[in-house]
Structures are given as structure tokens and as C-alpha cells.
């Protein structure tokens, strides 16, 4: 069993100290690779703010969406994420019913 350390040991300065500039570059680099949070937009798609939405749909729709997403991802076809597929499917309905311009 490992020896226990006091809690204050965990908050002491690391040796060698961490350079804040390099730490910020590292964190910003990780964000740019992952996109901004949940955004999986293609390079030509403008970045838009997204908000969470939770809903329940039929099991057969879920299975078909997952299958479509995985097959499209393997083929390299956009959109391939569930989020992007759903947005693309919902947008025409919202426009045709006057909820989106």
C-alpha cells in the first residue's frame, strides 16, 4: 500500500514550475483540435452557438441514425455526426413552417 501524503502536498508548486504561457498554448491547442466544445462543423461551415437539447425518439430511428452516422464516418461523408445529421434534417421543417428564416 502506498504511503499517504497530507493534502497540502498536492497543492505545492511543482518542481520544475509550470510555465503559464506554455500551459495556455497547450490548453488552446487541445481546444483547436477538438473544436469549440461540441462543434463538429466542417471547415466551410461557420461556427454557431449550440445549446443542449434532450428528447426521446423511437428505437428504430435511433438505430438507423447511429448506423447512418457510422457508415458515413467510415466513408468520409459529411455530415456524419448525429448532431449534424439531425440539424440538417430539422432545418427544412423549421423553414417550411415559418419558424426559421
Q: Can you give the pLDDT at residue 7?
A: 81
Residue 7 within a domain:
no
Q: Domain range for residue 92? A: 62-101
The tens digit of pLDDT for each residue in 8-37 reads: 777 777 677 778 888 888 888 766 665 554
Residue 92 within a domain:
yes
Question: Is residue 81 predicted with pLDDT exceeding 60?
Answer: yes
For the chain, what is the domain count? 1
State pTM to two decimals.
0.53
The tens digit of pLDDT for each residue in 36-76 reads: 544 455 556 677 888 999 999 999 999 999 999 999 999 99
Residue 11 within a domain:
no
Is residue 94 within 8 A of residue 101, CB to CB? The reply is: no
Question: Is residue 97 predicted with pLDDT exceeding 90?
Answer: yes
* Interior angle at CA 99, CA 92 and CA 62, nearest 5: 50
Is residue 37 within 8 A of residue 50, CB to CB? The reply is: yes
Residue 27 within a domain:
no
Amino acid at each position: 500500500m502506498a504511503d499517504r501524503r497530507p493534502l497540502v502536498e498536492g497543492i505545492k508548486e511543482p518542481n520544475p514550475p509550470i510555465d503559464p504561457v506554455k500551459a495556455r498554448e497547450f490548453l488552446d491547442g487541445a481546444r483547436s483540435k477538438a473544436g469549440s466544445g461540441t462543434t463538429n462543423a466542417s471547415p466551410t461551415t461557420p461556427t454557431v452557438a449550440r445549446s443542449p437539447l434532450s428528447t426521446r425518439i423511437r428505437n428504430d430511428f435511433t438505430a438507423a441514425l447511429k448506423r447512418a452516422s457510422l457508415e458515413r464516418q467510415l466513408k468520409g461523408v459529411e455530415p456524419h455526426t448525429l448532431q449534424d445529421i439531425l440539424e440538417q434534417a430539422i432545418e427544412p421543417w423549421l423553414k417550411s413552417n415559418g419558424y426559421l428564416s
